[in-house]
């Protein structure tokens, strides 16, 4: 996994210069770059940046789900304060959404195929594929869950808690997106094992979270936090 990430970082650093020039100086720089015959190099840089951001977003989302489950788990709070777990959960959520947005927006700068901002936001538009729609909907559900935190008081705790459960759907759709779009994951190489391992960790913690708590633990958890 470390060697794979290092390889992507090296490729992205070597090939993303045309992309950065286009982002900084606008469409004119992008047109000039393509006119110089750097078409393939430009697209390769975009794809490496998007791929790396996508895997980082998925891995961070898995950690976000795990931290969220641990935040409301009594046996975890015996070792770590709830405030610490909650802070880690929020930080990971912000990083997940940031890399997820980078992953989606990067494809807009491809030149090999048409992929507009509309394609990055609205699934199935203009012939959008199902596997791409998994990722778009998953990211948008994650954003909706994050935004709901700011309106929690207006929604009320119970309604907000129901909305917060959409985070599990967001993670499931992101997992489907990774599996259906990544040839490396489908080949069940080291990267595929890591991706499935992250999913397995989330499922295991969720199962442990749903098991009945002992009487000693249950007395330390207020009803609103369950």
What pLDDT sits at residue 188?
78
The per-residue pLDDT for range 81-101, each reduced to its tens digit, is 777 888 888 999 999 999 999
Say how far residue 113 (Cα) sits from the centre of its chain: 24
Q: Would you call 156 helix, strand, or coil by DSSP?
A: coil
What pLDDT sits at residue 85?
80
Q: Which carries the bigger pLDDT value, residue 52 or residue 206?
A: 52
Residue found under tokens 């990544």: 182
What pLDDT sits at residue 59?
93
What pLDDT sits at residue 29?
45
Contact between residue 24 and residue 67 where contact means Cβ atoms under 8 Å apart: no
Give me the DSSP letters along 32-99.
HHHHTT-HHHHHHHHHHHHHHHHHHHHHHHHHHHHHHHHHT-HHHHTTS-HHHHHHHHHHHHHHHHHH
Label residue 43 by pLDDT band (50, 70, 90): confident
Task: Break the chain into its structural domains and give their ranges.
Answer: 2-127+192-225
Percent share of the chain, pLDDT over 90 = 25
Take residue 135 and report the two structure tokens written for it. Answer: 């990722």
The per-residue pLDDT for range 190-223, each reduced to its tens digit, is 888 888 888 998 888 888 777 765 444 444 444 4
Q: Name the pTM for this structure.
A: 0.72
């Amino acid at each position: 996994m470390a060697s794979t990430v290092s390889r992507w970082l090296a490729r992205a650093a070597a090939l993303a210069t045309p992309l950065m020039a286009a982002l900084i100086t606008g469409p004119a720089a992008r047109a000039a770059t393509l006119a110089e015959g750097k078409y393939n190099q430009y697209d390769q840089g975009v794809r490496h940046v998007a791929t790396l951001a996508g895997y980082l977003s998925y891995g961070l989302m898995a950690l976000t789900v795990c931290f969220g489950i641990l935040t409301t788990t009594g046996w975890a709070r015996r070792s770590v304060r709830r405030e610490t777990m909650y802070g880690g959960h929020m930080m990971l959520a912000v990083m997940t959404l940031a890399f997820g947005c980078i992953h989606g927006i990067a494809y807009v700068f491809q030149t090999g195929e048409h992929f507009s901002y509309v394609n990055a936001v609205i699934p199935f538009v203009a012939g959008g594929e199902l596997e791409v729609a998994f990722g778009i909907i998953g990211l948008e559900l994650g954003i909706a869950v994050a935004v709901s935190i700011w309106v929690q008081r207006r929604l009320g705790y119970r309604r907000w808690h129901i909305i917060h459960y959409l985070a599990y759907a967001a993670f499931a759709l992101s997992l489907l997106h990774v599996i259906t779009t990544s040839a490396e994951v489908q080949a069940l190489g080291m990267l595929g094992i890591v991706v499935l391992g992250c999913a397995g960790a989330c499922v295991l913690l969720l199962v442990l979270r749903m098991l009945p708590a002992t009487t000693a633990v249950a007395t330390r958890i207020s009803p609103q936090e369950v």
